[in-house]
Each structure stands twice: as C-alpha cells, then as structure tokens.
Amino acid sequence: MSKIVKDEELYQEMCRVVGKVVLEMRDLGQEPKHVVIAGVVRTSLANQKMKRSELTTEAMERVVKALAPQQ
C-alpha cells in the first residue's frame, strides 16, 4: 500500500472518529470544543476492552495529539 493511500485512509478514519464524538456530544447537549473532544477520544482510547483496528487506534492517537493543548 502506498503512503498516499495509507495517509488518506488514516485521514478518513480521523474524520470518522471526530465526527462520531461531535454528533454524540450534540445529542447530549454538550458543546463540542476541541479540548473536550480530545478528552473523550483519550478516555475511549484508554479503554483496553474495546477491540479496534490498528488504523482506528492510530487515528484516535493522532486526533488527541492534534486537538489537545501541548503541555
């Protein structure tokens, strides 16, 4: 698989992950701020009981890095 195809698949998965969180937050009446989205994804990622593909795990890690404030 070429790097371009892999990068596109990763980007699409990142968009799916963020979109799902934003829609769930909206349904709960919460404002989807970037820090909160990162926290939700980080918490979900910490749940080791969930089976995820390597692509999803990498996408979630990159979402957290992109949205969380640098410390």
Exposure class string for 35-71: b at 16+ Cβ within 10 A, else e: eebbebbeeebeeeeeeeeeebebbbebbbeebeeee
pTM of the model: 0.85
pLDDT over 90 (residue 21): yes
Asked whether 55 and 10 are in contact (CB, 8 A), the reply is yes
Q: What is the pLDDT of residues 57-71, one digit of tens each?
A: 999 999 999 998 765
Distance from C-alpha of 69 to C-alpha of 50, rounded to nearest angstrom: 26
Structural domains in the chain (count) = 1
Residues 6+ apart with CB under 8 A from 56: 13, 17
Give the domain extent around 62. Answer: 1-67
Q: What is the pLDDT of residues 23-45, one digit of tens each?
A: 999 999 998 899 999 999 999 99
Q: Which two tokens stand for residue 44?
A: 């979900």
